[in-house]
Chain A
Amino acid sequence: MSLWAGEADAIIALVRGAVPEMPALLAGAERGVRHGADLSASEKPHLFIYAPAARIAPLDWLQSEVRTTWEGDLWVDGTQEQAALYLDAIRAALAANRTLTGTVIDCALLSANILEDPNVQLLKVVAMTFETLRHEG
């Protein structure tokens, strides 16, 4: 498994712990992204983790500091408040487990938005950007 797949799975595990209503396995979360409108009701809440992008800074002794940003979209059938409560739970879980159970040195939530479409009253997207930190070398 690649390093990035390991990080993606660790973020998925974190969100799963915070949002226990997510269906099991691929029905509830996946690496990569699809349009949420393709999801059935039994697949929500559903998390997509995608678009990893790394910034690499060289350190002494031929080491590197690698910061990777991840986009995470949690699709929710529910009210704005329901989506906001999920986001609160994800932030609390991250505060309690910033290393993603030892997968990285640190993981932070850089931004979060709840996206709403007036044409689709109940479907909400919690759009998040995570950043992980690891040292290599």
Chain B
Amino acid sequence: MTAAQVMANIAAKLQTTLPNSPARLASDLDATLQPVPFNTTRYQLRAFAGPVTEVQDSSVAFYPAMAVSLTVAYHLGTGTEQAWTASGMQGALEALLNPSWWRTIAGVFLVAATLPEVALSDIVRVGRVVSFTLTLQLTIDPSA
């Protein structure tokens, strides 16, 4: 499986995991180009295939790595900030920070050196939009 296929699989799973009518933004890199519509979730998925990594201390099997950065942005609508950060956002984070969520994606061999993580400083509010950015490193199984 290629890195592009894995990215598509991640996006498909996000559609079923994130709350509030999630959709991927057309731009994964720029936060100034598109709105997050009222009371909905939008996300930006950035990934690149990195150098091959050794598989589980094997000296013969090497799989490509993929660095992933995911930004999830939610428009509060008429709700309060804490109604989101204390509830819906926690559920989304709990799902996405669990390595099992990533391992069960077709083409993901395992969660490698870097487990999914969100720094507190990566949870921010701008205007009526609250966003967090999660990073991790995957290993792609080319034979999947």
Q: A: which residues have CB within 8 A of B?
A: 58-65, 135, 137
Contacts and interface: CB of A to CB of B under 8 A. Distances in A.
7 cross-chain pairs, A with B, having the tightest CB-CB distances, nearest first: A63-B127, A62-B35, A60-B31, A135-B127, A59-B127, A60-B126, A61-B36
Interface residues of B, number: 12
Contacts of A60: 31-32, 126-127, 129
B128 interface: yes
Contact of A135 (B32, B36, B73, B128): B128
Nearest to B124: A60
Contact of A58 (B32, B73, B128, B129): B32
Contacts of B128: 63, 135, 137
B34 interface: yes
Contacts of A61: 31-32, 34-36, 73, 75, 126-127, 129
Task: Summarize B's interface: helix, strand, loop or mixed.
Answer: loop
Report whether over half of chain A's contact residues are helix, strand or loop; otherwise say mixed: strand
A62 B32 CA distance: 6
A81 to B, nearest CB: 42
Contacts of A59: 126-127
> Which of B31, B75, B129 has its CB near the most chain A CB atoms (within 10 A)?
B129
Contacts of B34: 61-62
Interface string B21-58: 00000000001111110000000000000000000000
Contacts of A64: 127
B71 to A, nearest CB: 11
Contacts of B75: 61
12 contacts: A60-B32, A60-B127, A61-B32, A61-B35, A61-B73, A61-B75, A61-B129, A62-B33, A62-B34, A64-B127, A135-B127, A135-B128
B123 to A, nearest CB: 14
A35 to B, nearest CB: 40
Interface string B97-138: 000000000000000000000000000001111000000000
A83 to B, nearest CB: 38
Most buried by B among A58, A61, A62, A63: A61
Contacts of B35: 61-63, 137
A134 to B, nearest CB: 10
Contacts of B126: 59-61, 63
Interface string B74-103: 010000000000000000000000000000
